[in-house]
Amino acid sequence: MKTKKETEEIINILRKCYPDCKCSLDFKTPYQMMVAVMLSAQCTDERVNIVTKDMFKKYPTPEKMSKLTIPEIEKMIHSCGFYKNKAKSLHGLTRKLLDEYDGVVPETMKELETFPGIGRKCANVIMLEAFHNPQGIAVDTHARRISNRIGLSDKKDPEQIEKDLLKRVKKEDYFDANHLFVWHGRKTCDARKPDCSNCKVNKYCNYYKKLNKE
């Protein structure tokens, strides 16, 4: 397992590799961020952006979204995958937001995680992107893969991986770490064909070292 110092060095190197990294989901308000990140489960951000482009023009607020039935939502988000469950979640979180929070997205992890379709990973992203107040590190498929390959965590469960990461990543690095892991996973550390030879942090990577031994 990597030390705090090694983890800091890895993050600093990745900063230089991806100086312009940012969230790839399109949104203008905390509510839109909430909707977009919920739809992004098991779906690419590019596909979500295509779907939300028209949806947010017609239904940009929870008040307007609440007028839609679940079947109407299903039709709009069909291409995002798991559309039936996501439609129920979108309908439920919108109603909850209006009924319990007057349409204002709460700014705490604890409250966010009570909404349909919003688990810890989504709550982390909302706190980061909508409120610029990261409380942890969102462990998506990229963060999980990179953490396991490099040796930041040997766990499989996202919440356990996050606990390992938070032991090694400084709080002031939470913001960048969230973006850097995603970008490194997309640009270099691909699931099937990682570009290990050109990876700038390969000297720290357990996966790379194992490959070279073999």
Active site residues: 121, 140
Q: CA 125 to CA 117: how far, in whole Å? A: 13
Structure tokens at 42: 């098991």
Q: What sign results for the dihedral spanned by CA atoms 65, 70, 76, 81?
A: positive
Q: Where are the alpha helices (DSSP H) in the chain?
A: 4-17, 30-39, 45-58, 62-65, 70-77, 83-101, 109-112, 120-129, 141-150, 158-168, 174-187, 206-213
CA distances for 147 relative to 17, 176, 191, angstroms:
17, 15, 12
Q: CA 108 to CA 131: how far, in whole Å? A: 10
Contact assessment for residue 122 and residue 42, using Cβ atoms and an 8 Å cutoff: no
